[in-house]
Amino acid sequence: MKKKFYSALIIILTLSLSNFKSTAQTGIPVPSMSNCDDLVENFLNTYDIPGATMAIARNGKLVYLRAFGHADIASQEPTQPYHRFRIASVSKPITSIAIMYMMEQGLISMDDKVFGAGGILENHPVLSQANITDDAIYDITVQQLLEHSAGWNRDLNCVPTPTPPYPYGFNSCDPIAFPLHVTLTNGTSNPVTEEDLILFLLEKGLDFTPGTAYSYSNIGYLVLGEIIEEISGMSYEDYVQETILAPLGICDMQIAKTLLEDKAEREGEYIGNGYTNLSCYGTGEYVPWEYGGFHVEAMTAHGGWMASARDLVRLLVAVDNFPTKPDILQASTINSMVTPSANNANYAKGWQVNSFNNWWHTGALDGTATLIVRTNNGFTWAVLLNKRVIGTNANAFWTDFDNLPWNCISSSTGYPSWDLMDMPLQNSHSLAFENISSNSVDISWEPGDGDYRMLVAHKNGPITYFPLDGTEYSANTVFGSGDDLGDGCFVVYAGNGNACNVSGLNPASNYSFRLIEFNKSATTGDNPLYMLCNNETDIITTLSTGISSNQLADKMVVYPVPASDKLTIELPFPLEGFEFVVQNNSGNHMLKDSVKGNKATINIHDLPSGFYHITLYLGQTQARKKFVVIH
């Protein structure tokens, strides 16, 4: 981290055009900050980084949101600002914010003891069973965990060489690196859990007296996550999302997954450094570190989050202690959070700090390098990469990575007045389909709080292409006539209404629909800004042309058979406009109702045991199925 922010332009290194490789650039261009684009490209080319996203805010407004290179391993998908990446230890400030919020609510204090009688985790179902032989553990406080002074030193080697079941050793005492040894030692199953990792160090004991030294500790932050769960009665992820993130309109942050096949929507892919480790799932396979060498789901509070650059800056602006936008914490709480610890003048409570009142944090895992910064003069930024550099170039990489946004700011000739954070906070919802025919459908919804909303449709598959900020799209309710976002994802509606009729559909075909809220105003610089998280989606199946009773009966499923309490009727398309009638063997009507959705559950508890027919009606078309009631 630079020791201060230079108000004058600093000398920018001349780009070596002979070595310059063009990479994809996406996002809304900012002419007065175009040097930033060049600087990022040069940095990526110098260190062979596949992709990056960068968000920069000034005085509470997001002025720059750009992406570069490729987001996937195959280098086929350009990185977009909407891409999300693992953020590694940038997760620690998030955990700190949640703990500080709990303190404001009077739920916890800095001096609270954590383990043992009277400790916060005294009754934890797993950790309370630890065989603790080092009594100093009972002196650990919440503040010491926040400041990395609880007593664990990960730089010491606390495992044998080789480290079973690995055929090699680990010169470390950070159990996230050797999850299979942790489960073997604890006698627990794979993959490792947060509790497994904590239990391993609790039973090992401490390396120094709590509060007397600084030693960066991933496991200490996992303990803070357990504290959040114990006090809130919620999972760590749910508590942070519901209490801290959702009120800010942040919905693109979640705990990441370990495996490539489990990656989330709009999550980028990670390129490691060629090293492998035994799979954390205990299969005996050698896998890349970034995809199974460690267990990301067990990193949660210390390094498990995934985010977009925009949402990270949105969170930073909400705790920056500047008056430009409301903070979610009181000024006194924020000041406590960023006050240097007694054991390290450059680390506070989940934040790296310096005497110039700049706050920041970095994150690094195989396949990931991240950086967030809040400067003393009103700038905040987040930069996310899908590769990190190790080895002889590592120091130069981190120095240049740190310098990159500072140089961007210093080389800018001005800043736009727009705020690219001015996103909707509430999506449209209650997507409903009526009058489904062989070639059209009536669609309605409840609007969100955005200026407008877009409806996207795709035939025979999910919607995997998304609108781009700053781009306006032409909509047409005749499927296939509006703009194509990619791979046949057509815009069928864009406006501020709450309903439309979509035509031009093919009979007996599946169509996916996605409803996307967006803003476009003077505040956004007249750029459409699309809310891509938590969009409501649904799938319908159009009817066959002139659908017959036999065709309807073939598609209709009734279960369970026999039934005793409830009976379910289901079709592969929504049943809007259908009615059903239940008759006994004598033809008497026993039940009758209308149906919405592609599934209906009928209470048959009061029907006597015996044989029945259930008939669905759609105009003149009807389908009948038999079922049996047994009590």
* 557-608 pLDDT per residue, tens: 899 989 999 999 887 666 555 678 999 887 888 898 876 667 788 899 889 9
How is domain 549-629 classified at the CATH fold level?
A: Immunoglobulin-like (2.60.40)
**Could you confirm whether domain 88-407 is CATH 3.40.710.10?**
yes
DSSP state, 42? H
Among residues 556, 73, 35, 507, the alpha carbon closest in space to that of 269 is found at 73
Residue 6: predicted pLDDT: 36
Residue 7: predicted pLDDT: 35
Say yes or no to pLDDT of 490 above 90: yes
Do 562 and 628 form a contact (C-beta atoms < 8 A)?
A: yes
Say yes or no to pLDDT of 3 above 50: no
Say yes or no to pLDDT of 22 above 50: no
Residue 11: predicted pLDDT: 34
Average per-residue pLDDT in the chain? Answer: 92
Reading the block at residue 122, the tokens are 């005294």
Query: Mean per-residue pLDDT for 530-534?
Result: 96
Query: Mean per-residue pLDDT for 484-491?
Result: 97
- DSSP for 241-255? IIIIIGGGT--S-EE
Query: Mean per-residue pLDDT for 153-172?
Result: 96
Among residues 556, 567, 557, 555, the alpha carbon closest in space to that of 604 is found at 567
Query: Mean per-residue pLDDT for 300-305?
Result: 98
- DSSP for 286-330? EEEGGGTTS-GGGTHHHH-EEE-HHHHHHHHHTTS--TTS--SS-
Reading the block at residue 44, the tokens are 């990526």
- 540: three-class secondary structure by DSSP: strand
The letter for the amino acid at 616 is L
Enter the pTM of the model. Answer: 0.86
Q: List, for residues 95-106, the tens digit of each pLDDT value.
A: 999 999 999 999
Reading the block at residue 297, the tokens are 């789901």
Say yes or no to pLDDT of 263 above 60: yes
Do 112 and 142 form a contact (C-beta atoms < 8 A)?
A: yes
Task: Give the pLDDT band (50/70/90) at residue 308.
Answer: very high
What percent of the chain is predicted at pLDDT more than 70?
93
Residue 577: predicted pLDDT: 54
594 φ, ψ (degrees, to nearest 5)? -95, 165
Say yes or no to pLDDT of 10 above 50: no
Residue 361: predicted pLDDT: 98
Residue 529 bridge partners (DSSP): 519
**The residue count for the chain:** 631
- Per-domain residue ranges of the chain: 88-407, 429-541, 549-629
For Cα atoms 99, 105, 106, give the angle at the middle one, nearest 5 degrees: 90
611 φ, ψ (degrees, to nearest 5)? -100, 145
Residue 217: predicted pLDDT: 98
Among residues 218, 95, 230, 220, the alpha carbon closest in space to that of 145 is found at 220
Q: List, for residues 164-183, the tens digit of each pLDDT value.
A: 999 999 999 999 999 999 99
DSSP state, 11? P
CATH of 429-541, one of 3.40.50.10490, 2.60.120.260, 2.60.40.10, 1.20.120.160: 2.60.40.10
Say yes or no to pLDDT of 443 above 50: yes
For Cα atoms 264, 239, 225, give the angle at the middle one, nearest 5 degrees: 90
Under the phi-then-psi rule, with left for phi > 0, alpha for psi from -120 to 50, and beta for the rest, what region is 215? beta
Say yes or no to pLDDT of 514 above 60: yes
Query: Mean per-residue pLDDT for 396-401?
Result: 98
DSSP state, 240? I
Tell me if 88-407 shares its fold with 549-629: no
Give the separation between CA 333 and CA 240, rounded to whole angstroms: 17
Task: Give the pLDDT band (50/70/90) at residue 378.
Answer: very high
Say yes or no to pLDDT of 13 above 60: no
Do 83 and 385 form a contact (C-beta atoms < 8 A)?
A: no
